[in-house]
Chains A and B, each alone.
Chain A
Amino acid sequence: MVAVAALLAVTLLGAIATFLVDDRYAAKFATAVSTIPLVGSVWMYYVYLTEYQGVGNALLSPDTVAFRQTIDWIELGGYTIQYSVGLDGVSMPLLALTGILTTLALVSSWTPIDERQSQFYGLMLLMEVSLIGVFSALDFFFWFVFWEGVLIPMYLLIGVWGGPRRKYAAIKFFVYTNVASLVMFVGFFTLVFSLGDSIATLGLPEITQALVAGEMGSLAGIAVADLKLLAFVLMFVGFAVKVPVFPLHTWLPDAHVEAPTPVSVMLAGVLLKMGTYALLRFNFTMLSDVATGSVLAIMPVAIAVIGVFSVIYGALLALAQRDLKRIVAYSSISSMGYVILGLVAFTPHGMGGATFQMISHGLISGLMFMAVGVIYNETHTRMVGDMSGLADRMPWTVGIFVSAAFGYMGLPLMSGFAAEVFIFLGSFGATDTLGTLAPVLTSIAMFGIVIVAGYLLWAMQRTLFGGYELETDYELDGAAFHDVAPLAVLLLLVILLGVAPDLSYGMIQEAVNPILEIGGGV
């Protein structure tokens, strides 16, 4: 199947073309280009739903993976580097999410981005290429190229089109995540070298299967168990920065506050999911025995504690903010904490729910950032206290904002509720990995649903309701249709997945359940 290759090629060509287009036409041109990966990924999703059965997990059963394509490329250090792509129930929804969010983010750029358009839109599309690659690559070399390839456009997008402190935020983002990549890289190659001759390629499935088969040998006198632990910790730290997990999260609020709205949408909606996606693939699939505590018994509890702490800590930080965008940024830390808890629970609903939460949070946080962006475009402020009673002037935008906020609070029949309930159902009884702490930690994490209601309701009360006032000199002239339309589309998707979670949850469960079966074995 050349579907993924076509997606990559077309998007890349489109990105290059966008750089060459005149600024006046760049927005429409790039949006039109982005509909190709949008339609393509949604079509692939549809094909996956209707035609592929029993795909399983991409790393554990590579022969049945959907849209698989493998071409040998070069020899490097004794390993064959392959162009190798394929999709399973975890990566397929993330790929579709990328396609959908990119187009919507591009549409939401029309109003706020008013200089160097061709470069902006070109970089956005370039980022999409890398994102498609990250979620579909099954060879480490390619995967890593795309993984790093996301950073450069993101660095430029924040650093050029960002707010007043954009340089600080962009450099912080770049250095922080780049150092993290390095740490992860060392961790991964610890595994590769200790596998020795048992692998001939850097294919992720091959490495996984070699690890599961117990092919690992000691390296430089370090025992296998210690090597595994070392690799696990290094990779966990590397990916945790991207998620982000406490205490490695401080780049996130700065990046979000400085980034223009559409870039925030991509950052929160898709880029953070790279971290949890990689955690799922590397830490919880390749080294599932370490994740479940068979090397170091305290490991699952330690990870769960970090996740639960992130939930509560992120929510508390959100409560302390006045900037609407910072509120949403910190609440992302809280929401991603649930993903960590679900993953480490290592149960069907826990891991499935964690993956579902990646999709759900991608949609809802994108929606929230866009809604804040529309308000900012109109009022030129994001500060709670600088405005009130916006519901009076922009009822439909506020209506969607309120709906999105309730989605964020986990209102039933919206996707966030399904995701959180799956995670809680999975982690509450996860006594195999978390022991008697499972219900306790889950109950603590659940308190997040109270705090999130607290800060969102409080912020809404002060900005959207009450008598109309605006501290800035701008007059509200009402948001344009193309500003509000992406919000409505996202809201509908959030409700669709909330009413029928099995549209994604079915394939997700098929992909994560095989991981659970290999869990305990070394």
Chain B
Amino acid sequence: MTAFDYAPAIALLPFVSFLVALFGGQYLPKKGALAGIAATAGSLVLSAWVALTVAGGQTYNEALYTFTAGLETFDLHLGILIDPLTALMLLIVSFIALLVHVFSLGYMNDEGETGLPRYYAGLGLFTASMLGFVYADNILMAFMFFELVGLCSYLLIGFNFREAGPPSAAKKAFLVTRFGDYFFLIGVVGIFVTFAGATQTPGLFAGEGSFPVVAEHAIVDGATEGLNTFGFEPQTWFTILGLLVLGGVMGKSAQFPLHTWLPDAMEGPTPVSALIHAATMVAAGVYLVARMYGFYALTPTTLAVIALVGGFTALFAATMGVVKQELKQVLAYSTISQYGYMMLALGSGGYIAAVFHLTTHAVFKALLFLGAGAVIIAMHHEENMWEMGGLKDKMPVTYYTFLAGSLALAGIVPFAGFWSKDEVLYEALIHGFGTEGGLGTVFLVAYAMGLLAVFFTGFYTFRMVYLTFHGEARTETAKKPHGVRWNVKGPLAVLGILATTIGFVNLAPVKKLTGLEVDFLHKWLLGAEGSGWEALLTGYEHYEHVLHDGPAHVLVGEPLGATGTLIASALLSLGLAVAGVLAARSLYKVPEPVEHTDKLGSIKTLLMHNYYQDEYQVWLATGFTYPLSRAADKFDQGVIDGVVNGISSVSLFSGSRVRRLQTGVVTNYALFITIALVVLLVVFGLTGGWF
């Protein structure tokens, strides 16, 4: 037996905890929390075992359950793909889910919340769905679990259903992401139909016969036999398919313009926010791009779109984070912005940088949300930062771990976020300089937006830190905060240490400068000849080959020389981050801070209203679609049904008139008969030629 034989259990264990919590939670001592903790711990152990096996050079790509055996057409199946990317993500998801479960003991159970079985059932199903998504071996299965992740976010965001806000936010989250998934589903269906004639396994992600590889053969080698591209050039058609799938990515990963659900989703309990933002729902979108990167790397247009959307979202969301007053709102916009960085990296050819940032972000964003949760417990569920202040001395564990997370988010050396964000920007920069034509320019524009966002990130992060923890306590609650227990401090401490250190898994710049082999993540994801899993064709070495030799021709350019460019890029991003932190420090690290953002005037109004993105989307739903449906209803009732009723009234009316002939008077009938006979005789006579 190898670890892979137990791989299905990684997702099934949290699913069992879902069932246990749902049906038995009310009889259990911690209302299902312990089942969830046991299940996610089990998943974590199995994921670690899987990761060790993968480290030994083994991978797994098998169909396990035939969903539908197609008769005279293709099969649909559920299967498991485990390569180093999957193994890494499984670890992240099960690890964060475990910590969130433990933290929930403090945030939910200790606070006396009701409906806990439902809560833990939701967490279990959420974790199970995400894990199922992560190791899906084909794009239909990925879509299925992607949708289940959406369901779970609906259930958990709307957890406090007795209030007005959460059900509305839950509905919005599901609807906006489903709008994205609509395009994704067209993409999935399109991929199956396109590749069904060319391969036995049209939806597969990895290996020969998988759709990215078949697409590569079609574009690079011109092997288009059996492909159905609906009359388009393969490259054009693959671009369309890629962009369609990207719709789902932008919905789930909250990329502009489908980011609007995410800040509202803060209505959910805070541990749920940590899970959504760090490891599940929002990560799913970016992970999907990474999962099928071989397909995206083929089409320069999709790369350009991904890079631009990412760079723009990174900047756009960061500017909104600057004016928010509630702790969780700042974090929400930072999430949108950080996932923008990952998209920027993926679009500009920095596959490893994106996965690296996904990893570090999972750690520091989970930390920040759980830290925010600790603050919210302490503040008796007050979330406005202006009601806080001076919490530093009263809750040192929370403060120092939160600080570590903030330094990581701001990208200050040597915390985790510095290394990954620096690599994202560096990759965008060198590929921007190296790639010829419009694509290179797009990379540079996206890079510039990402770079500018670094300043804002440093600013809003430390504005948040200073307002929450420094200065004088501004309210009575902040003077006497509620204490937190081990189940809150424990996860914070673990994440705090990781947020400080996890950047060391990929010290790519250090390797370039000193030659030390310290870029472990790079090696992990490389998949070179002899690594044992090069046949899956999901390693970076293969992607790099596609990027270079495919139509995108992504190349490296270093205008200041290898070392010079590296150092210049790092200094630039670090300098901007520090500048942002210092700006925040000078404005807000004072005993009685004031709302300096008021000086922005109308810009602040614009930012507080999130650039009026919500307004137009709400208008699309309630100002356009709903009136359209009312009009359709009027048309249906009036015209369509009117015709039906009209026909029946005409027959009733004519019936009532014809009835008058039936008078019951025999002489009248005799008259009718005589007239009719005469008429008939005349007619027959005329036609028969009697006259």
Tell me, yes or no, whether A binds B.
yes
Question: Considering only CB atoms and an 8 Å cut-off, how many residues of chain A contact the other chain?
Answer: 64
What is the number of contacts between chain A and chain B, taking CB atoms within 8 Å? 151
Asked if B174 is at the interface of the complex by the 8 Å CB criterion, the answer is: yes
Contact between chains at B178 and A505 (CB < 8 Å): no
Contact between chains at A421 and B151 (CB < 8 Å): no
Complex contacts, A454 vs chain B, CB 8 Å: 175, 621, 625
Asked if A509 is at the interface of the complex by the 8 Å CB criterion, the answer is: yes
Min C-beta distance of A325 to chain B, whole Å: 15
Complex contacts, B228 vs chain A, CB 8 Å: 429, 431
Asked if A64 is at the interface of the complex by the 8 Å CB criterion, the answer is: no
Complex contacts, A360 vs chain B, CB 8 Å: none
Asked if A112 is at the interface of the complex by the 8 Å CB criterion, the answer is: no
Asked if B196 is at the interface of the complex by the 8 Å CB criterion, the answer is: yes
Min C-beta distance of B473 to chain A, whole Å: 34
Task: Choose one: B145, B161, B174, B644; the contact of A465 (CB below 8 Å).
Answer: B161
Contact (A450, B73) CB under 8 Å given A250-B641, A412-B148, A436-B230 = no
Asked if A400 is at the interface of the complex by the 8 Å CB criterion, the answer is: no
Task: Choose one: B175, B621, B633; the contact of A320 (CB below 8 Å).
Answer: B633
One digit per residue, 1 when the CB lies within 8 angstroms of any chain B CB and 0 when it does not, for chain A 381-399 equals: 0000000010110000000
What CA separation (Å) do A467 and B162 show in the bound complex? 5
Contact between chains at A391 and B182 (CB < 8 Å): no
Complex contacts, A425 vs chain B, CB 8 Å: 189, 192-193
Contact between chains at A316 and B629 (CB < 8 Å): yes
Task: Choose one: A320, A422, A450; the contact of B178 (CB below 8 Å).
Answer: A450
- Please classify how large the interface on chain B is, using the bins under 10, 10 to 19, 20 to 34, 35 or more: 35 or more
What CA separation (Å) do A465 and B157 show in the bound complex? 13
Asked if B562 is at the interface of the complex by the 8 Å CB criterion, the answer is: no
Contact between chains at A443 and B167 (CB < 8 Å): no
Task: Choose one: B71, B175, B632; the contact of A510 (CB below 8 Å).
Answer: B71
Asked if B670 is at the interface of the complex by the 8 Å CB criterion, the answer is: no
Contact (A317, B174) CB under 8 Å given A250-B641, A466-B164 = no
One digit per residue, 1 when the CB lies within 8 angstroms of any chain A CB and 0 when it does not, for chain B 223-246 equals: 000001011000000000000000
Can you list 14 pairs linking A and B with CB atoms under 8 Å apart?
A: A313-B636, A320-B626, A320-B633, A413-B144, A421-B185, A422-B68, A424-B185, A436-B230, A436-B231, A439-B193, A449-B182, A461-B170, A465-B162, A502-B67
Asked if B311 is at the interface of the complex by the 8 Å CB criterion, the answer is: no
Interface residues in A153-207 (C-beta closer than 8 Å to B): 172, 175-176
Complex contacts, A443 vs chain B, CB 8 Å: 186
One digit per residue, 1 when the CB lies within 8 angstroms of any chain A CB and 0 when it does not, for chain B 143-168 equals: 11101100100100010011110111
Contact between chains at B71 and A313 (CB < 8 Å): no
What CA separation (Å) do A411 and B143 show in the bound complex? 10
Contact between chains at A446 and B182 (CB < 8 Å): yes
Contact between chains at B73 and A348 (CB < 8 Å): yes
Interface residues in B30-63 (C-beta closer than 8 Å to A): none
Question: Can you name the residue of chain A whose Cβ is closest to the Cβ of B160?
Answer: A465
Asked if B69 is at the interface of the complex by the 8 Å CB criterion, the answer is: yes
Asked if B190 is at the interface of the complex by the 8 Å CB criterion, the answer is: yes
Asked if A428 is at the interface of the complex by the 8 Å CB criterion, the answer is: yes
One digit per residue, 1 when the CB lies within 8 angstroms of any chain A CB and 0 when it does not, for chain B 165-204 equals: 0111011001100110010011001101100100000000
Asked if A79 is at the interface of the complex by the 8 Å CB criterion, the answer is: no
Asked if A36 is at the interface of the complex by the 8 Å CB criterion, the answer is: no
Min C-beta distance of A155 to chain B, whole Å: 16
What CA separation (Å) do A454 and B177 show in the bound complex? 12
Complex contacts, B676 vs chain A, CB 8 Å: none
Contact between chains at B630 and A442 (CB < 8 Å): no
What CA separation (Å) do A316 and B631 show in the bound complex? 9
Complex contacts, B170 vs chain A, CB 8 Å: 461
What CA separation (Å) do A418 and B147 show in the bound complex? 13
Contact between chains at B175 and A418 (CB < 8 Å): no
| Most chain B CB within a 10 A radius of its CB, from A447, A451, A461 | A461
Contact between chains at A449 and B644 (CB < 8 Å): no
Task: Choose one: B154, B164, B166, B633; the contact of A317 (CB below 8 Å).
Answer: B633
Asked if A210 is at the interface of the complex by the 8 Å CB criterion, the answer is: no
Asked if B476 is at the interface of the complex by the 8 Å CB criterion, the answer is: no
| Most chain A CB within a 10 A radius of its CB, from B67, B143, B621 | B67
Contact (A447, B182) CB under 8 Å given A175-B648, A425-B189, A453-B175 = yes
Asked if A513 is at the interface of the complex by the 8 Å CB criterion, the answer is: yes
Contact between chains at A250 and B640 (CB < 8 Å): yes
Contact between chains at A392 and B182 (CB < 8 Å): no
Asked if B628 is at the interface of the complex by the 8 Å CB criterion, the answer is: yes
Question: Can you name the residue of chain B whose Cβ is closest to the Cβ of A168?
Answer: B645
Complex contacts, A467 vs chain B, CB 8 Å: 162-164
What CA separation (Å) do A33 and B690 show in the bound complex? 72
Min C-beta distance of B173 to chain A, whole Å: 10
Contact between chains at B231 and A317 (CB < 8 Å): no
Asked if B428 is at the interface of the complex by the 8 Å CB criterion, the answer is: no
Asked if A364 is at the interface of the complex by the 8 Å CB criterion, the answer is: no
What CA separation (Å) do A175 and B648 show in the bound complex? 9
Complex contacts, B179 vs chain A, CB 8 Å: 450
Complex contacts, B529 vs chain A, CB 8 Å: none
Asked if A501 is at the interface of the complex by the 8 Å CB criterion, the answer is: yes
Contact between chains at A449 and B178 (CB < 8 Å): yes
What CA separation (Å) do A91 and B653 show in the bound complex? 43
